[in-house]
A and B are shown apart, each in its own frame.
Chain A
Amino acid sequence: MIKETHSGTTECDIAIAGGGLVGLTLALLLARETPHLRVTMLDPYGLDEADNTKAVDNRTTALSKGTAKLFKALGIWPLITPFATPIQHVDVSDKGHVGLTSFPAQEHLNQEYSAKKAKLAQGASREALGYVVQNHGLAQVLLSQVRASASITLLPHTVTRFTPKVRGGVVDYKGSDNTSLSLLTQCLVVADGAQSSLRDTLGIQTSHHDYQQHAIITTLTHSKPHAGTAYERFTPQGPMALLPFGGHVNARQSALVWTRPKALFQASFDLPDKQLLAHIQQQFGYRLGVFEQVVARHHYPLHLVLAKEQVRSSLVILGNAAHFLHPVAGQGFNLSVRDCGALVATFTYASQQKLALGAMSVLARYQAQQALDQQATVQISDKFIQLFSHTSPAVQLIRNAGLLALQKAPPVQSAFFSLMMGQGFTRPVLTCEREYNRGHNQEQHRAHHQQMNNPQVTNKKALS
């Protein structure tokens, strides 16, 4: 699909720098929604499947209902489900305070408790609150879909520079043998992660907040099934999230994201397996039974990084390059997926109106569309962390009252989680979503009709 021009430079409509989860999601949405637009994706790693297997780690991402729905609309959800574990319950607790649902010893002994919960979760046809997906699995599904899309060209190279032109701009990138090549595009989307070097090259400043914490990430196996429960537990030393993992509600493994103060994380991280398990057990209690095994550990420092500019003529900053949030609140990827949806809707509009894709007036629409969602999501995620990292008695009192309200009042709970899952905001509906909704409604309609007709059939039978 790539077009050679007389000067030897190539041309495309949209260039994407960075082939991570966000870049891949954007590329795939563009391939489905605007197949007439030629997309080129550049990433030095990750695009090569051999490289991809090397980068395997057990990191996970929480997908909101909305994100899952978008993947369903794209028709790729069946491919993702083997890597996704549904979240049926969320259990928020605070160690050693009133709001805590304490973990009595009986509960540890009560073997039936979690089995019953698992059964309930399985039997209930109610929709999951969200999903925990293995990053590697999701990336592979997205990549194979992107590869199969005729409108997308993949280049395993690093973007070094972007020079705006009257229409669009020139993307310089380094070829495999270090030769400099260039690509003319209508719009460049920078999605090369929180540490985006391209963002810095473009002189885009960031605001930076260091949480003074490190996240320790690993997978734990435990003696009881998780029953699709995600646990958010707040200890005086930082929040701990245990997310259901293993593909189904009866699995006995969970992904741990344990946030430790900067000064203390190394000691915890370096603990031998046995001590680490005992330590986590002590902090977490016995809701998941006994923690048995811990697999490969990773850690990284936690920052809130916000780009001070997200849009210029022919340029968009997307994903973690635009906003990198604390992982415990599970907001970052879902917000970026909503950004992707809004951006694709903007490009669709521009292309229908025969406007330049990178025109400032076009991209300003995208920015205006997402500003409120971004601002609110960043605030919620940041305040959530601050609230639960606080040790002052007054804050603890409010927090515990809040937790009690969450536990006792289902409407409060659902409002809290829809807020946490970023469902409070609307963005333009994409064609694939409209079609999916229509198909979905027809199916329900059909099922409804069958139900209506069946009694008649049985009545007739009864009559005859």
Chain B
Amino acid sequence: MTDTLNQNVDPAEIRKFEQLAQKWWDTEGEFKPLHDINPLRANYIDQHATAAEKTVVDVGCGGGILSEAMAQRGATVTGIDMGKAPLDVAKLHLLESKLDIDYQQCTAEALAAQKPNHFDIVTCLEMLEHVPSPADTIKACAELVKPGGDVFFSTLNRNPKSYLFAIIGAEYALRMLPKGTHDYQKFIRPSELTTWMRQAGLELQDITGMTYNPLTKTYKLNPNDVSVNYLIHAKRIQD
């Protein structure tokens, strides 16, 4: 049972993040872009689903950047990831931030089997492009959330522009991300994501893009441009 539940994992992807684990909270290092966009996406979630006094599961939590931001906004947070090293870093960082977060090494599918209909909010950001079967992860997210609850996804669109920006631009030209962070083939078009969402019983509420201005070095949410990075808010259909 657990074997099949844990199948939706790419060992190469896990290794990639294991090697970078100790850099996770270095705000000027490899994960700088993630730190920079974090307040934007955390506020987006908070604005659409009010995090305070809610239970949140952060799927693919890595070193806990988003998990901590949600806890800081008053949520009770569970963070799950398949990489042991990032989770160790996440746990260690709790000593510094003095927050209380429950970190577990498991897949969304495995947690959904244990705790179906359990969470008020499910967040699954910058994660779908790293798993072999995004549709299964989306289905698991839909199972984790309570009926009527909120689910958030973010990923990279798949088109020539996103290839240019996210791979050539971010990894090679601007060196914002380590080379090999992303695999273009795994990028997901919004139409594909929303199809999988519908199949899982999730209803689209909002979609917004995230754009980067290399001159001011700032990110902003832009509902009119989902061509590269985008964020989706969905609700689980009431039973």
Contact = CB atoms under 8 A, between A and B. Distances in A.
Interface of A: 163-166, 169, 201-203, 205, 308-309, 311-313, 360-361, 364, 375
B74 A311 contact: no
B208 to A, nearest CB: 13
Interface stretch (B12-20, B47-55, B128-136, B161-169): B47-55
A364 B47 contact: yes
Given A169-B74, A203-B97, A360-B43, A308 B36 contact: yes
Contact of A166 (B42, B50, B99, B216): B50
A360 B39 contact: no
Given A308-B36, A311-B43, A375 B52 contact: no
Given A308-B39, A361-B47, A164 B68 contact: no
Contact of B69 (A163, A203, A360): A203
Nearest to A205: B27
Interface string B29-56: 0000001100100110011001111000
B68 A375 contact: no
Given A309-B39, A360-B46, A361-B47, A165 B27 contact: no
19 contacts: A164-B74, A166-B52, A201-B98, A202-B72, A203-B68, A203-B97, A203-B99, A205-B35, A308-B35, A308-B39, A311-B43, A312-B39, A312-B73, A313-B47, A313-B74, A360-B43, A360-B46, A364-B43, A364-B47
Nearest to A164: B74
A115 B28 CA distance: 55
A421 to B, nearest CB: 23
B53 A165 contact: yes
Instruction: Please indicate which of the listed interface residues B47, B68, B69 has the most CB atoms of chain A within 10 Å of its own CB.
Output: B47
B80 to A, nearest CB: 20
Contacts, number: 49
B65 to A, nearest CB: 10
Contacts of A313: 43, 46-47, 50-52, 73-74
Contacts of B53: 165-166
A364 B73 CA distance: 15
Contacts of A360: 43, 46-47
Contacts of B74: 163-165, 169, 313
Interface in B183-226: 216
Interface of B: 27, 35-36, 39, 42-43, 46-47, 50-53, 68-69, 72-74, 97-99, 216
Given A164-B73, A164-B74, A360-B46, 8 more contacts: A169-B74, A203-B72, A203-B97, A308-B35, A309-B39, A312-B73, A364-B47, A375-B216
Closest 8 CB pairs of A and B: A164-B74, A360-B47, A309-B39, A164-B52, A203-B72, A313-B46, A166-B53, A165-B52
A309 B27 CA distance: 14
A164 B52 CA distance: 6
Contacts of B51: 164, 313
Contacts of A169: 52, 74
A47 B216 CA distance: 39
Contacts of A312: 39, 42-43, 46, 72-73
Contacts of A164: 51-52, 72-74
Contacts of A166: 50, 52-53
A281 B237 CA distance: 77
Contacts of B73: 164, 312-313
B149 to A, nearest CB: 15
Contacts of A202: 72
A163 B27 CA distance: 24
A393 B214 CA distance: 29
Contacts of B68: 203
A46 to B, nearest CB: 27
Instruction: Please indicate which of the listed interface residues A201, A309, A311, A361 has the most CB atoms of chain B within 10 Å of its own CB.
Output: A309
B34 to A, nearest CB: 12
A164 B39 CA distance: 16
Contacts of A311: 43
Nearest to A313: B46
